Structure 1
Amino acid sequence: MSRNLLLLSVFFIVLTSCKQEVQKKVTLREDVAFLANDSLQGRETGTPYEKEAARYLEERMRSIGLLPKGNAGTYFQTFSFKPKNDPHAEVQFVDGDSTITGTNVIGYIDNKADKTVIIGAHYDHLGMGGEGSLYADGEAIHNGADDNASGVAVLLQLAAKLKDTITQHNYLIMAFSGEEMGLLGSNYFSKNPTIDLSKANYMLNMDMVGRMREDKTLSISGTGTAPIWGQVLNSNNPGFKLVLSESGVGPSDHTSFYLQDIPVLHFFTGQHEDYHKPSDDFDKLNYEGMEMITDYILSVIYDLDNDAKLAFRKTKNESEETPRFKVALGVMPDYLFDGNGMRIDGVTDGRPAAVAGLQKGDVVIQLGDSTVTDMMSYMRALSIFEKGHATEVIVNRNGEKIKATISF
């Protein structure tokens, strides 16, 4: 047994022995350190390593004092599916040969209330890489500390604090499986719920909340799904630089609940150079920022506690307007940038942007004949090019306009 695995086993045994000690304090750092440890091999859906993570979450929920709300009186809701050959096809939830089984982990706080708040975060990740990985040097463990051990750690802190507070809501606390394969766990739950979804007031999703920047930028999506969201988020803001987006549809698990006509919010601190790479490790997370986000979400929950059930509102599906690309620049956009242009948050070696000399921090303000004012205009400009094309790009680098030639 490796030293890392031995340490994790000891921690797991200690945690299990404390099942009845509801007051036991486990920190954000400790939860992330367990989930993002090499011994869990990247928590890929359906693997023994994901199941080990599920058992850890089961014990954490039990130690907090959550009631089991999975299937058959357990904390687990399993679902089996066939991997998709066509990325645009709908997943088939079936049992039988050639299937993968994922495991949602679900706990419940029963305050005997008429309304329930659903709070979730996905705990699966990419395993050794494969499809979805941005790592170019072969197989390696993708620990997914920010994506999304960070969200799960905040989820557990919220559960512990809500457990000790009697409010006018019940709380469903859910760690999703299968998010990286297409929001599978949340999709399955939304169609096979273990509570009455008609009593669900709203859903909060934490996905990648571990890398808050110095300027305290926090992205929140779904703000158009209930009329009251903007008011509540701004009035409780402790000093975040909020970047708000109305759409209830996005590449994370809140989408599954929005499609069931439930108001949603998705909290996100932004992408970074370690996204979907083995370098997304626990020592790079901003734990103080995660504490701030936890307290902020709690204040929002408490503010809404005595209000009537939130009114659901449909929003424009921004993903339907996203242009399709035949080429890529080879950069990581800064999705939290709210200035003029598209800020580059990372450059991939050997790709067109790197070859042209573009750098992290450059702000693309023109691509070909198109002026770039934001992310959408950047994507529209990029969508007209094909492999073999070349064009001029202009970037703002610390106030200086730099021209370069991009060859796709």
Structure 2
Amino acid sequence: MRRILFYLVLFTAGIVGNAQTEITTPELRAHIEFLTSDTNAGRYPGEKSNKKLVAYLKKAFRSAGLKTEKQGFEAPLRTKKDQPKKAPVKTWNIIGYLEGSDPELKDEYLILGAHYDHLGMGGGPSSKSDKIAIHHGADDNASGVAALLEIAEKIGAHRSEFKRSILFIAFGAEEQGLVGSRYFADNPTLPKERIKFMLNMDMVGRLNDQKHVYMGGAGTFPGGVELMKDLGKQAQLNPIVHAGSVGGSDHVAFYRKNISVLGMHTGGHPQYHTPEDTIDRINFPGQKMVCNYIYATLLAVANMPEIYFIPQD
């Protein structure tokens, strides 16, 4: 019996080891199940669940072989005009570091980001529903965080192929006005001039039948528009690529610092900012395709001879 158990453990470890090298739909689902669980109550900043979320994210980054750090900050909370103001709360950005393989280019960094907070029980100015109920935020933005963790895991397994270094950041308090990303952009954990590119994922779990992936900012780095179209074809996706149209999510703070950006999503839907944004609506095979598209993008950008900022009108 002991021998059987021993080989069972080895077999299980082998499965886990293989899974870590690639993005899988079961792992994407497991991350979203945790993030949208009732115990996390909509991932509102300053709640008890915040510390549990931070611990989960740090553990996932460490499992991918990354060095981790948490960056604390005070987040003001948005309220409706007829409601009393709330006191600011303490929350965090969670950061994973992966060093590049090139002796010179490893001093330059790409950022892959996604916000992990949501609207809690709703009722605030961002809610599109009058219901006071858990706003699960499966697509917004548990999907982006699941993608962040899975892509980090795959890059960790293929780190020797990436010449530049990468920061993986789970931002806090995005729904309160892009607070976490602005705080990091104003207080970077490394010299700002080393940050060459930021790719943000916000709602990447609802790929439609036309396989549209929407993005803005592709014109902010050399050859970006052509690159994203070519990689989209290889990924069997139909990207809608905008050179400008930088948009309104966490990558905006970096664009304003003259850093090349790309903001990616799979489109809006009626469940946005309502309690009905639930895991049963996620297209997991489609999300895996989007994740591999983003992985290919990071690999291409990490190995470009040169990255420089191109402003857009």
TM tier, smaller = 0.7 to 0.9
Correspondence for 1:135: 129
Closer, same or farther in 2 for the Cα pair 1:298/1:83, shift >3 Å? closer
Q: Distance in 2 between matches of 1:183 and 1:173?
A: 17
Name which of 164, 175, 178 aligns with 1:169.
164
More strand by share: 1
Aligned counterpart, 2:88? 99
Residues of 2 paired with 1:45 and 1:159: CA distance? 24
Pairs within 5 Å for 1:267-278: 267-278=264-275
Change (3 A) 1:22 1:171: farther
Q: What are the equivalent positions in structure 2 for 1:89-238 lying under 5 Å apart?
A: 98-111=87-100, 113-131=106-124, 132-136=126-130, 138-165=131-158, 166=160, 167-237=162-232, 238=235
Name the counterpart of 1:28.
28
The unaligned stretches of length 5 or more in structure 1 are: 1-17, 69-74, 88-96, 317-408
TM-score by length of 1: 0.65
Post-superposition CA distance 1:272-326 (Å, at most 9, x none): 111101111112101111111111112222223332231211112xxxxxxxxxx
1:226, distance to aligned residue in structure 2 (A): 1.8
1:76 paired with 2:76, answer no
- Deviation of 1:126 after TM superposition, in Å, equals 0.1
Show the counterpart of 2:48: 48
Q: Is the 8 A contact 2:44 2:117 kept in 1?
A: yes
Rg (Cα) greater in structure? 1
Alignment of 1:336-355 (within 5 A): none
Measured in 2, the distance between the counterparts of 1:208 and 1:85 equals 23
1:242 Cα deviation from its structure 2 partner: 1.8
Query: Is the alpha carbon distance of 1:154 and 1:306 closer, same or farther for their aligned partners in structure 2, counting shifts above 3 Å?
Result: same
Separation in structure 1 between the aligned mates of residue 240 and residue 263 of structure 2, nearest angstrom: 11
**Counterparts of 2:305 and 2:214, CA distance in 1:** 26
| Cα deviation, residue 248, structure 1 | 5.7
Aligned partners of 2:270, 2:51: CA distance in 1, in Å? 28
Quote how far apart the aligned CAs of 1:86 are.
10
Matched, 1:313 2:299: no
What is the aligned partner in structure 2 of residue 386 from structure 1?
none
Tell me the SS of whatever aligns to 1:212: coil
Distance 2:256 2:303 in 1: 25
Correspondences of 1:316-335 after superposition (within 5 Å): 316=313
Match of 1:284 in 2: 281
Please report how far the alpha carbon of residue 99 of structure 1 lies from its aligned counterpart in structure 2 after TM superposition.
2.4
- Do 2:76 and 2:176's aligned partners in 1 also have CA atoms closer than 8 Å? no
- Summarize the Cα distance change of 1:104–1:144 in structure 2 as closer, same or farther, 3 Å threshold: same
Within 1, Cα distance between the matches of 2:291 and 2:304? Answer: 21
Greater than 3 Å deviation, 4+ residue runs: 21-26, 81-87
Cα–Cα, structure 1 residues 36 and 64, in superposed 2: closer, same or farther, change >3 Å?
A: same
Aligned mates of 1:148, 1:82 — CA distance in 2: 20
Change (3 A) 1:258 1:301: same
Percent of residue pairs identical: 37
Does 1:256 pair with 2:245? Answer: no
Q: How far has the Cα of 1:197 moved from its partner?
A: 2.1
Rounded Cα–Cα distance in structure 2 between residues aligned with 1:98 and 1:301: 39
Give the conservation status (yes or no) of the 8 Å contact 1:54–1:105. Answer: yes
Structure 1 Cα separation of the partners of residues 114 and 303 of structure 2: 25
Change (3 A) 1:85 1:295: closer
Distance 1:50 1:85 in 2: 20
Instruction: Provide the rounded CA distance (Å) in 1 between the counterparts of 2:141 and 2:56.
Output: 15
Q: 1:158 to 1:264 in 2, by over 3 A?
A: same
Counterparts of 1:135 and 1:22 in 2: how far apart (Å)? 43
Contact 2:98–2:165 (Cα < 8 Å) also in 1: yes
